[in-house]
C-alpha cells in the first residue's frame, strides 16, 4: 500500500530522444512545482521549454560522488530527467548506490531496447539485456557463450555495433543477425537489420542500441575432443586429455567460484573448457612459454570462448596482486617448485581450492605433504586414458570446522 504524504527526495522522469509530448498531468504538476532540476545536456535541450520561471539546472557530468554531494547540499526535492527507464542501466541506479537512504518516485518511459523491439514487432519475453557502455566485454561474452537467443546491447562509442560485430565474427558467433536502432524517438531515427559482415563495416550514429537475433540454435557439447585443439609443436601429449580435463574441472568446484586461475595453460584446454562450462567466472590463464600465447588465442577463437585473460610470464616473477583473487586454481605446471607455488597460492587465499594432476610419485607426495602441513583436506582420484600413464587428480581445500571436529 502506498504511504500517504510520503516524502520524496528525487522525482525521476524518463524521456526519449525527442521533445516529450507524453507527460501526464501529474508529471507536469511535479515539474511546475519544482525549483531544482538535473539531467544531461541533451535532456536540458529537450525539456527546457517546460521548466518554470526561476529554475536551477544541474548538469549530470564529471564525478558522480561530487554530483551526489551537490544534490544533498540543496536540502530540497530535485527533479531528474533520465533516458528511458531510470532503473534500466540508468541514473536511478547510480542514485541508489550513492544516496541509498534517499526516497525516489519514478515516472518511467520506454527504454531504448523496448522501443527497438516495438519498431520491428519483436516479442521480447526472452530478451536478455546487457550493457557494454563504459564497461568490459564480460557481460556480452557471457550471454554469447550461454547461447542466448535474443540479446539486447547498450553500446558506447568504443564498443559500437561495428566493434561488437567484429568480436562476434572473431569468436565464431555468426548465427546472429544484428538489428541496430539509431537516434530512436527523434526525427533522425533509423533502424535496420544487418548481417555481421555488413555491420562490421557500417558507420552508425553515436546514439544507438543493438538487438542480436539468433537464426539457429548454438551447438553445445560437453567436452571438446583433444584432436580439435591446436597443440604446442603438434605434440599430442602436451594437452590435458578430455576425460582428465572434465574430472579436473569437476574437482575445482567452479560453480561456487568467481575467479579461476589456470597456471601453465599450454594449449589452454582447461581454461577454455572451464569458461565454456561456467561462462560467468573470471578466468586468468598463466604461462611462461611464449609460443603458447598464440595457441590459446587460436583455440579460444576456434571454440567460441572469449573473455579469458592471458598473462604471460613466470608465475614466481609476476605481480599477482594486480589480478582478482582466485577461488580455484589448476596447477598445470610448476617448474619443479610445486611446494613454493602451493604456499604462495594459500597465502593469496587461505580458502582456495587447489587441483593438481600428478603422474610422478614425487609430485603426488609433495602435494600431499604440503597440503597436510597447511591443514587442507585432500581428495584423490586416479584415472587412466588409453595407454597413457595413470594420473592422480589431487584436490585440496581448507578444512571446515565440521571436518576439524571430526
- The range of the structural domain enclosing residue 129 comes to 114-214
Shared domain for 150 and 287, answered yes or no, is no
Percent of the chain residues topping a pLDDT of 90: 85
Shared domain for 27 and 120, answered yes or no, is no
Contact 71, 38 (CB under 8 A): yes
Bridge partners of residue 284, in order along the sequence: 261, 309
Cα 305 from Cα 173, distance rounded (Å): 10
User: How many domains are there within the chain?
Assistant: 3
From the number of C-beta atoms within 10 Å of its C-beta (0-12, 13-18, 19+), residue 246 rates as middle
Q: Model confidence over 293-330: pLDDT tens digits? A: 999 999 999 999 999 999 999 999 999 999 999 999 99
CATH number at residue 382: 3.40.50.150
Bridge partners of residue 392, in order along the sequence: 358, 382
Q: Take residue 246 and report the three cell numbers written for it.
A: 572434465
pLDDT of residue 127: 98
221 occurs within a structural domain: no
CATH number at residue 85: 3.40.1010.10
Distances (CA, A) of 344 to 314, 349, 367, 370: 14, 9, 13, 12
From the number of C-beta atoms within 10 Å of its C-beta (0-12, 13-18, 19+), residue 180 rates as buried
Shared domain for 333 and 187, answered yes or no, is no
3 occurs within a structural domain: no
Q: Model confidence over 176-229: pLDDT tens digits? A: 999 999 999 888 999 999 999 999 999 999 999 999 999 988 877 889 999 999
pLDDT of residue 6: 57
Q: Take residue 32 and report the three cell numbers written for it.
A: 511546475
Pairing mode, if any, of strands 190-194 and 282-287? Answer: unpaired
Q: Model confidence over 353-401: pLDDT tens digits? A: 999 999 899 999 999 999 999 999 999 999 988 777 889 999 999 876 5
Strand order in the sheet with 150-154: 128-131, 150-154, 208-214, 176-182, 190-194
Percent of the chain residues topping a pLDDT of 70: 97
Bridge partners of residue 381, in order along the sequence: 393
Shared domain for 174 and 299, answered yes or no, is no
Task: Identify the residue whose cell numbers are 580455484.
Answer: 328
Amino acid at each position: 500500500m502506498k504511504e500517504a504524504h510520503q516524502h520524496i527526495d528525487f522525482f525521476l522522469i524518463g524521456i526519449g530522444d525527442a521533445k516529450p509530448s507524453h507527460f501526464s498531468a501529474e508529471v507536469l504538476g511535479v515539474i511546475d512545482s519544482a525549483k531544482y532540476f538535473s539531467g544531461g545536456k541533451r535532456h536540458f535541450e529537450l525539456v527546457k521549454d517546460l521548466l518554470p520561471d526561476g529554475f536551477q539546472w544541474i548538469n549530470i557530468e564529471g564525478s558522480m560522488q561530487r554530483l551526489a554531494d551537490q544534490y544533498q547540499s540543496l536540502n530540497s526535492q530535485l527533479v531528474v530527467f533520465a533516458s528511458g527507464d531510470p532503473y534500466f542501466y540508468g541514473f536511478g541506479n547510480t542514485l541508489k548506490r550513492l544516496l541509498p537512504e534517499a526516497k525516489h518516485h519514478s515516472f518511467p518511459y520506454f527504454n531504448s531496447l523496448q522501443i527497438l523491439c516495438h519498431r520491428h514487432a519483436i516479442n521480447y519475453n526472452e530478451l536478455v539485456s546487457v550493457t557494454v557502455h563504459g564497461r568490459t566485454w564480460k557481460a556480452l561474452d557471457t550471454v554469447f557463450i550461454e547461447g542466448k537467443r535474443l540479446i539486447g546491447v547498450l553500446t558506447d562509442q568504443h564498443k559500437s555495433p561495428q566493434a561488437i560485430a567484429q568480436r562476434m565474427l572473431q569468436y565464431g558467433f555468426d548465427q546472429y543477425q544484428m538489428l541496430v536502432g539509431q537516434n530512436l524517438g527523434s526525427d533522425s531515427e533509423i533502424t535496420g537489420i544487418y548481417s555481421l559482415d555488413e555491420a562490421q563495416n557500417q558507420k552508425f550514429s553515436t546514439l544507438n542500441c543493438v538487438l542480436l537475433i539468433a537464426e539457429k540454435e548454438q551447438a553445445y557439447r560437453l567436452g571438446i575432443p583433444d584432436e580439435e585443439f591446436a597443440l604446442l609443436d603438434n605434440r599430442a601429449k602436451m594437452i590435458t586429455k578430455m576425460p582428465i580435463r572434465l574430472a579436473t574441472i569437476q574437482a575445482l568446484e567452479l560453480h561456487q567460484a568467481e575467479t579461476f586461475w589456470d597456471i601453465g595453460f599450454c594449449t589452454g584446454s582447461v581454461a577454455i573448457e572451464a569458461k565454456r562450462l561456467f561462462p560467468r567466472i573470471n578466468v586468468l590463464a598463466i604461462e611462461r612459454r611464449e609460443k603458447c600465447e598464440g595457441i590459446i588465442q587460436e583455440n579460444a577463437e576456434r571454440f567460441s570462448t572469449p573473455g579469458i585473460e592471458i598473462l604471460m610470464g613466470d608465475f614466481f616473477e609476476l605481480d599477482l596482486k594486480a589480478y582478482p583473487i582466485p577461488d580455484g586454481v589448476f596447477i598445470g605446471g610448476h617448474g619443479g617448485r610445486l611446494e613454493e607455488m602451493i604456499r604462495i597460492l594459500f597465502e593469496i587465499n587461505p580458502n582456495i581450492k587447489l587441483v593438481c594432476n600428478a603422474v610422478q610419485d614425487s609430485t603426488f607426495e609433495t602435494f600431499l605433504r604440503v597440503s597436510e602441513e597447511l591443514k587442507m583436506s585432500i581428495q584423490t582420484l586416479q584415472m587412466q586414458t588409453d595407454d597413457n600413464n595413470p594420473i592422480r587428480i589431487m584436490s585440496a581445500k581448507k578444512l571446515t570446522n565440521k571436518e576439524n571436529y571430526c
